Amino acid sequence: MPELDSQMLTLLDVRAAMGARPIMEMDLQKARALAIAAASLQGAPEPVASVEDVRAGDVPVRLYKPTRAANLPVVVYFHGGGWVRGGVASHDPVVRAMANAGGFAVCSVEYRLAPEHRHPAAVEDGYAATRWIHENAASLGLDPSRVAVAGDSAGGHIAAVVALMARDRGAPPLVFQALVYPSTDAAADNESMREMTDPRLPLTPNEVRWYWDAYLGSDADRGSAYVSPLRAEKLDGLPPALVITAEFDPIRDEAEAYAARLEAAGVTVTRTRHRGVTHGFFGYAGQISKGRAAVMQVANTLKRAFETEKPSAAAGHLADAVFGSMPASFDVHFE
């Protein structure tokens, strides 16, 4: 039988000591404060060359640069938190680590949160910020031809939807999408949702459903592509992708199904299921070696993508340059 990693088990005890409980049992403002406090689990914030708070049109963003060199590639990053909590502050350490490891700038987006601002506020903020960064890249010391999106959990959902929007709306061109255990299907009905019944998990099936309800309300079209990317009619024409999942995660199967659908549509995909860990492990990089390994995997994969030819090259040529002779899809786990 699969077992939780020993470091993961210790981390679950730490979370409990911090006051973590199912989101439905918490006051939302206290839950949001806990998300900020939990940033300490990502490790000590690494120094970077510069940090600047700017406005991408109407959307607040924080721009991290690991060096003062000009023409840096940039990753537009969307934090997790079930669309209802988290923010630039909650993901500060992990964003700094990615920027330093990958040698690229990171633009962390402070998108609007539900339930005060329901769908499509978060994804439209995400798209608007990404387009603004592309259009204003030169004045920010960034390379407009090397823009990627990334995110974890709800942020992975936003990154996936922004990639769809960019394709559908004709701009901006994206080099890559890095999706860490992304939510991809509002139906929330799959085998991993039925398997993950351990109440110790940081994300339970009941919480998954609660988050979707808080984000969408009762009127949203749950089958639309910008709500449930897994149900999009077409997934061709999207940038190459990295999809990371956790073994003990109720949304594992929908994320892996999305990776499979991308692959079937001709998108080059790397799929990695990390064994023995739960949803959220990416944000526990300061406590769990597999979390740190996943952060480095994202950083190094994006770095390789940026080191290839510019996105004006043919998509197939770009994919070959990024992934070389590697198979279109493969599973990796860190012991």
What distance in Å separates the CA atoms of residue 179 and residue 167, rounded to the nearest whole number?
A: 17
The token pair at 71 is 């023409």
What distance in Å separates the CA atoms of residue 115 and residue 133, rounded to the nearest whole number?
A: 27
The token pair at 174 is 């994206």
The token pair at 25 is 């049992």
Q: Give the dihedral of Cα atoms 229, 230, 235, 238; nearest 10 deg.
A: 50
List all residues 6 or more positions away from 43 whose beta carbon is below 8 Å from its beta carbon.
93, 97, 285, 286, 287, 292
Q: Of how many residues is the chain composed?
A: 335
The DSSP H or E segment spanning 6 is: helix 6-18
Is 279 annotated as catalytic? yes
Is 249 annotated as catalytic? yes
Asked whether the beta carbons of 43 and 93 are under 8 A apart, the reply is yes
Which of 185, 249, 253, 274 is catalytic? The answer is 249
Which of 153, 183, 192, 228 is catalytic? The answer is 153
What distance in Å separates the CA atoms of residue 109 and residue 40, rounded to the nearest whole number?
A: 19
What distance in Å separates the CA atoms of residue 275 and residue 264, rounded to the nearest whole number?
A: 25
C-alpha distances in angstroms, 191 versus 195, 246, 278? 6, 14, 16
Taking alpha carbons only, the member of 232, 256, 86, 98 closest to residue 163 is 232
Q: How many Cβ atoms sit within 10 Å of the Cβ of residue 319?
A: 21
Q: How many Cβ atoms sit within 10 Å of the Cβ of residue 249?
A: 27
Active site residues: 153, 249, 279
